[in-house]
Each structure stands twice: as structure tokens, then as C-alpha cells.
Amino acid sequence: MSPTVLHVRAETKALEHRSAITPSIARKLVGAGYVVNVEESPLSIFPSEEYEGTGASLVPTGSWTDAPSEHIIVGLKELPEKDFPLKHTHVQFAHCYKGQGGWDTVLNRFPRGKGTLLDLEFLEDENGRRVAAFGYHAGFAGAALALMAWAWQLTHGKDEPLPGVTAYENEGALIKDVKEAVEKGKSKAGHLPRVLVIGALGRCGKGAVDLCEKAGLDNILKWDLPETKAKPGPYQEIVESDVFVNCIYLSAKIPPFISPDSLSSHSRKLSVVCDVSCDTTNPHSPIPIYDINTTFSNPTVPVTLPSGSSEVPLSIISIDHLPSLLPREASEAFSAALLPSLLQLNDWKNVRVWQQAEKLFREKCATLPDGAVDGHAELLAGQS
């Protein structure tokens, strides 16, 4: 029986420096009998030289499209926006299962090419907990940028947005910059910011809280289900905080945490919202005050405020790959957590975690609009 081939594709999203399979994990996969092909990547935090000696083979950037159909393509973020059908099994985050804008265009490429999507976001253990996630580093990075933005607005005014940022080599360097920014903001405001984190008990929220504590903050409101279930939003406590970090994942509609009306309060102190979940086009978004993703190059966008509102400016951070601010540490933690599941890819059709991902893929394909895929029902039946 031929060994299973894993093809690690190069990321193409701007400033995406992470990798799903790091050099140390590639070595372990090769040791377990896998063939691992790693595309050369100009963006990756892991230079090609780090894969030398691991047993993995370096292959040209973008060569996954020509790989034999039985090779499993492993990546992180979305594929480039092309239209050709997909013939492989893809392991990645696709962001097309929750009604996001253009979800059907993304999803229908798989059944059209008789390919399969095994979405990393929905790999769950027996207890329904995700087997691997970037949540901690997303919350950590999101809170860091939120504090930087809070301080920047105080020291530079509302008409000069927070400048672009680039990836940090390590956590210590990021914390150093955040501490310096917070001290400058404190000198202007006369106090440290009050930060409210919703989802504080989850991976993402824990990352946000840890960053705030490491930055020296002492007024952190840690909200989770008990607080949000006690009363429906919008919440005045958010409006009266300096910074709000949203760390929850929603699959059903709930009353919004903040709204245009709640922002009209004269007592509003809120100046920065970081929506770490970043489901910008999700109809269930609990933060319906913006409709655009931001980027590391342009981290914030201003919110149009109701007339009569407090004069405090308000900015949104909605970057959908925040962990790439700390790409090495985020990749190493994620890849290590994913390893037990990766080691089962040679028999994935008979392994619960991958079976569940395939089942979800079939269910989502069945919801594609009529005509999105010619004969897609027959295609799906032929893949079962």
C-alpha cells in the first residue's frame, strides 16, 4: 500500500505567515510513514531551510493544483479566489459554512471537481470541543491591537488611524510595544483603560485577558455566559468601557451586544471594539455596527456615530487572521494540537473526527442553491 501524501500548500493571503504543519510536526509525520511535500512559501514564518532534515520534500509554490488527486492538500486560510473545480481532499479553514458572503461560490468548487472539504474549524473531539484552534492567539493579538488603538487615538486624535502592523517574532516583543503604548495613553487619559471581554472563559477570551494582564491592566471585566444570559443586550457596561473585545462564536441570533442606538449614550467612553470572531457577513453578528474587515495594513476603521453621541471617536478592529501577528508561536501550538488527527489521515474515512467533518461537508453541499452545481446531488452521491 502506497504511503499517504500530504501536500502543505503555501498561504497566499496578505500577511499570512502561519503554517498548518510546522517543521517539527513535518518530521513527526514523516517518521510515522507519511510523505510530506511542503511548498516553498515567501510568506511563511518558517523558511524553507527549517524543513531541511525533517524528511519533508520542498516543492514549488502553488504546485498543489497539479498534484495527483489522491494527495491530501493541507493549508490554513482560504484558497485564492478562482473558479476552477477542486479535485482533492482539502484540510483548511474555508469560512463558508455559516452563511458568509459568497459562501456558495467557495463551497461549490468542491462538488464540481469531486473534491472534499474537511474544515479545520469544525474538527471536534468526543465532547464537542475543537481538537485544534488558534483562539488563544487570536484573542491575545486582538487585545494587543485594541490597546494600541486606544492609546493611539488619545495621542494622535481621531483623524489619524492606527498605522499598519507587521508580524512579531515572539510574544515578548509584542508585549513590550503594548506596554509602551498603554503608558502613553495613560499619560493622556489619566488612567489605564477599562476593558470588557465577552467570552472570557474560552480559549479566545483567555488569550485576551492574559494579554491585558501582561500589559499591566487592573480593570478587566471578564464576561461569559452567566453575564450575557442574565439580561439581554445591548449592554451599557460595554458602552461605558474604554475597550470591548468580543471573543464569542455565534451560531444563532441573539440580541446584539451593542447597537447604533446604544452608542448614542452621552456616557459612552467606548473608543475601540475588537471583534475577534470577525464574522463580518454573519447575519447573527452581535456587533451590527460595521460591515467591513480590516487588515494588518489598515487595522482600524471608524464607526459612524449617531448624532448627539459622545464626542469620543470609535474604531473597529475586525482582522480575520489575528493569530498571524504571532505566527511562529500560534503555528507551533496549533500544529501540535492537530498532530493526533493528522496522524489519522491515512485512514480518515474510518476515523470519527474526519468522518464527522466529511458528513458536515455533505450536509452543507446539500444546501447549495439550485443550479450552483450542475448535478451536484449526483456528484455527492458518487463520492460517498
User: Would you list the domain boundaries of the chain?
Assistant: 5-131+327-382, 134-319
Taking residue 40's Cβ as centre, other Cβ atoms within 10 Å add up to 15
Question: Would you tell me how many other CB atoms lie within 10 Å of the CB of residue 269?
Answer: 16
pTM: 0.85
Distance between CA atoms of residues 60 and 173, nearest Å: 32
* Amino acid found at 353: V
Q: How far apart, in whole angstroms, are the C-alpha atoms of residue 87 and residue 70?
A: 9
Say how far apart CA 252 and CA 241 lie, in whole Å.
Answer: 26
Vertex 240 angle, CA 237 and 244, to 5°: 75
- Is 130 one of the annotated binding-site residues? no
Reading the chain (384 residues) residue by residue, the pLDDT tens digits are 799 999 999 999 888 999 999 999 999 999 999 999 999 999 999 999 999 999 999 999 999 999 999 999 999 999 988 999 999 999 999 989 988 889 999 999 999 999 999 999 999 999 999 999 999 999 999 999 999 999 999 999 888 999 999 999 999 999 999 999 999 999 999 999 999 999 999 999 999 999 999 999 999 999 999 999 999 999 999 999 999 999 997 767 889 999 988 998 888 999 999 999 887 777 778 999 998 999 999 999 999 888 777 889 999 999 989 999 999 999 999 999 999 999 999 999 999 999 999 999 999 999 999 876 654 444 444 443
What grid cell was written down for 41?
512559501
Give the dihedral sign, CA 201/206/210/213.
negative
Please indicate if the annotation marks 249 as binding a ligand. yes
Beta-strand relationship, 301-302 and 315-317: antiparallel
Judge whether 129 is annotated as a binding position: yes
Please give the order of strands across the beta sheet that includes 301-302.
220-223, 195-198, 243-246, 272-275, 315-317, 301-302
Q: Please tell me whether residue 302 adopts helix, strand or coil conformation.
A: strand
CATH 3.40.50.720 fits 134-319, yes or no: yes
Q: What pLDDT was estimated at residue 384?
A: 35
Which among 77, 156, 179, 222 is annotated as catalytic? 77
Q: Give yes or no on whether 5-131+327-382 and 134-319 have one common fold.
A: yes
The answer to whether the CB of 127 falls within 8 A of the CB of 246 is no
Question: Which CATH number describes the domain made up of 5-131+327-382?
Answer: 3.40.50.720
β partners of residue 198: 223, 246
C-alpha cell at 10: 503555501
Annotated binding-site residue? 202: yes
Q: Is 228 annotated as a binding residue?
A: yes
- Alpha-carbon span 139 to 318, nearest angstrom: 12
Q: Does 279 count as an annotated binding residue?
A: no
Read off φ and ψ for residue 110, nearest 5 degrees: -70, -55
- In the residue annotation, 156 being an active-site residue is answered as no
Q: Is 95 a catalytic residue?
A: yes
Q: How far apart are CA 318 and CA 303, in angstroms?
A: 12
Q: Which amino acid is at 186?
A: K
Show the cell assigned to 7: 501536500
Core vs surface per residue 70-95: b (16+ CB within 10 A) or e:
ebbbbbbbbbeeeeeebbbbbbbbbb
CA 248 from chain centre, in angstroms, equals 12
The catalytically annotated residue of 95, 137, 364, 376 is: 95
Cα(30)–Cα(15) distance, rounded to whole angstroms?
Answer: 28
Bridge partners of residue 118, in order along the sequence: 91
Contact 255, 268 (CB under 8 A): no
Query: 235: closest CA among 252, 216, 221, 249?
Result: 221
Per DSSP, what are the bridge partners of residue 39? 59
Element (H, E) at 273: strand 272-275
> 276 a known binding residue?
yes
Residues 6+ apart with CB under 8 A from 290: 275, 280, 301, 303, 316, 318
